[in-house]
Structure 1
């Protein structure tokens, strides 16, 4: 205002250039850039020649006003009027351009400094590197960083951090490591944020050894890990299942006096759940609560996912209700875990209901959600619903993957529609969908299950022609199918083909061959394969041991089977229900039910008994005419939380009918139906025959009608029984066959 009055009254005493420069600087500090430009115009009109400092403020004002055309014009005017230029004014222009996405123009300004007899300084380089990082031009930023280091400039911590973070986000971890090494050589240690970000990237890229080395380097430079560092490292070990090392870092964290946050707890709970160690997962969950830490949706989802994987759905849903009761909103992963658990338990109605709730609450299902539901329907044999969901998934813009395709191919094969599965796979290939060996292995399994080895081999040739290599799983399926057809010649051809491709049989293939030989009583060959397997470094598993034990038991070598079982225990392998079933089956066949009962009780105590072992035992008692003990076992199943199946009931119903206890047989039949257990053709045949023998022909025909209503197909034996009526009272053997 004073300056304008002096101009208005034609005052001959004008302010000094230094005063005007200070005035403009003060105006710029309070961001009055418009007034700066107005005063500058007055200065020029007054015939005052601006100096470099005034030009610097004016150029900054134009940059802040985003008028870069005028800013550049002012640069040219300054170059004509000022004798001694400096780099500061150019840095102002470079900063303005970088701030407003004109980074390439800024680089041109920097490159033009040499012509003007000027050199870029540390501020020039720092500004440009930050600007390049802002527009994600990291390669050029690295070049400029190298250039400035060669010139002896030490980049600022902010510049290093920005470049490291940018390269890290782009996955250029090697470039980051190289950069950290370079700045370290000039005495600049990256800060804790940089180290944490870099350690995190290395862990995510699977470079765990490098991450640990960087952690050690960080400590050696006097930078102490914080809660973020420890959280990253603990999470990386938990993801790899290296829980002991994760716990050692948790101890280090506590020793350093750092408060354990929710993040390490989440990692530990997730890690133990994935390993199936729910006891320790629950322990950390409770410890977290005791430490007054609030579980997050990730905490709950990890734990309930673990419960679902172990089939403990009641615990999973209890946890789900607990989290929603605490106003912790479930997310897509939470619902997907629960839906997956329900599908695995064959509870499709409940799974679909939960899927509907999820959508109603605007929680959008992802590819995995659809995949688990599609797989559930496929395993249930409901291919109509599976393909409906597949179509819905595509309509919603979700991309099916090899997991989706494999489930659908496998589902079609499981319901006997192998030719449709092949057509579906060929259609996917024509549409250029990505397929892998898993998709083809599902088709191969379908062909082999139906004994169509030639079709399976043709599919293999197509698979290889389409650029997908045969793997051990594919060969394993072909070998298993060949073994079931007792085709030794083809088996040898497949084994040679594997060897030519540098593939060696694995546990699964050796076990298939051992099992096939054991089942036909060829124990010499089975044990020969066992020796080769061990010699090749393949470690037998429970299935391998059980295959040999089964062969020995069937051949009557129960003592040798027991020795093999003891060897199994020495190898830290626990026998399963099938292993024990081999012994019980043999003991029942021999009529040695006392020893069978003793073994069965041991199984129950070890929580290894299942429906199959009970059925073997019940059949043994019925065969010996000890029906009362068979009935006791049926009651004991419920007490031990094991559900009987159709075989359980039909075995006892058969024995009651054979004894003429039709009333008791019908009572058991009704009990079976009330429990929702679907009778099969054999079960109907037993009871229909019992009714005919007892002269209850009306009841027999009622049962036949019931068969049709339930969609159970009568066999030739069913028709024969009804045709004979009550004329053949001693024909139970034919019914059994």
Structure 2
């Protein structure tokens, strides 16, 4: 909508015009309602009524002064818009316009609209008594021309004023002399034209031209004895131009000039200054300036409140913005003023938007501000500010770090409670975040919501929740918590998730680590029954469990069955078989296994020989263990700490204290860190067999190593809340 500035007439008693926005669609109090005079031509009508100096604003019906009617085209893009004609008519034409008058809108509530809207690019001023309208064809644009009148408002007739061209001609003006040179033959220009050009200069970054034009107006004011001088709207336009150009020193100078000219600021002036403070990063100063509006007897406009809210946004003070909005609502909501109902809706939406932006910014900061987000959500609930589903979902996407899981879960629950729909991608994101934060149980609850309430899970949902189960099963595998693994498999099947070989193998390995042979056999059978083909890892875990359970014949049958199915053995499977043959004392079979490994291109490692040596030690074959130790060295396979400790203990228990002592000192020379078990075995064997050794060379007794305990928890929820589980 167009809005227009206020200019003085030649009479000293006239200080400005009171504005109303005339349209049959406007019913706000203080606005003149008017039917569209232009009919189907698409023009709108703006009405202006003068004000007498020293008097209060009056209803138009109380005065007999002339009224101006302005027929405007909609504003076009650019620094300057366009309007067609301005006509002066007397009060007697009221019936022509079909006016329904009410109390006029206070100036401080509409001046902001005047400040922020552009004048037209092409202005025609013709004072007339009777108004007629016609269309002119030519360049494709419509215009409304009035008939010739008997007396012009300035005693002289004016033609069309091309505001755009006039402004462009002033781009090079640097001072009042330059303006005088350009405008010398233009006659007296209406102040609304000057105001429009000044704002355009600000948008075009031509602040020097704007200041030169104002200086020229001030000079003309002195030359014409005050009949034409810069008014409040001229100064507001200049302030806005200086703010646009970010020339804040000019803003201060303009304020000083206003004081010198005796012009008091209005609410638009304060709004511009508040915005300038915010641009400089002085949000607190802007809020302090807002408080001055009421103290100086002015009423803040909706733009004032919006600017103050934006200051809270820049301060990242969402709670302050909410409290500020509540104060506005408590102040004006009780009056039931229809004029403010629409403004409240806009301010409410703006406050919600600000809170959303603040929370999103908090979530992107490196520090953990999750508590701040939750607090702001609570404050919004108390004040009745309810963001929409879209805002909640965008905030969920902003939750990307582990510590954000509590915010994501809260937002997810709010969407579920307040909306019948939720984006599947958002649900998947929350599932992913819960897993990242090691809150797998919470992730499973969200997946259950998808199954029960929708939307239907997709492949991404399935893969995410299965990956979380894999993390839990991986923890079960590492810790040997086989019962937990079994329950996880059952939980997966219960939720319609088909465990793959990876999941089955994790439970098989957990059973093997826990030496639970029967459980491993049962899991292997169930795996085959569910249609999952065992892999070499499956067979290796089963062979290990059978070997630990001393079910050697069954292990040999599994081995042969594996080879029959064409499953290629790996290093781990060969190592298990070598350990199995060692436990039986079948060293020829051990040698055959090592040879077969080489033919398949698999070289034995220190782990392979450690398994053989450990098998000898378990079966009290210390001498055989030492032979394999020597064979290992002959193959240039370096022993590790496990090798030395196993050999030292085996030789000590086999009655060879001197040999175990030598291996202990050799390990020390190789910077091996041995356990207290090996140290005690050497000392005990030397004392038992009365061997002479230099105990001082052994050094101090090593500290005890913590024993690894195999956990057998039965409670799935308890384990799902474990925080130290890692993939």
Using the size of structure 2 for normalisation, the TM-score is 0.44
Higher relative contact order, chain-length normalized (CA < 8 Å, sep 6+): 2
Using the size of structure 1 for normalisation, the TM-score is 0.43
Q: Which of structures 1 and 2 has the bigger CA Rg?
A: 2
More helix, by proportion: 1
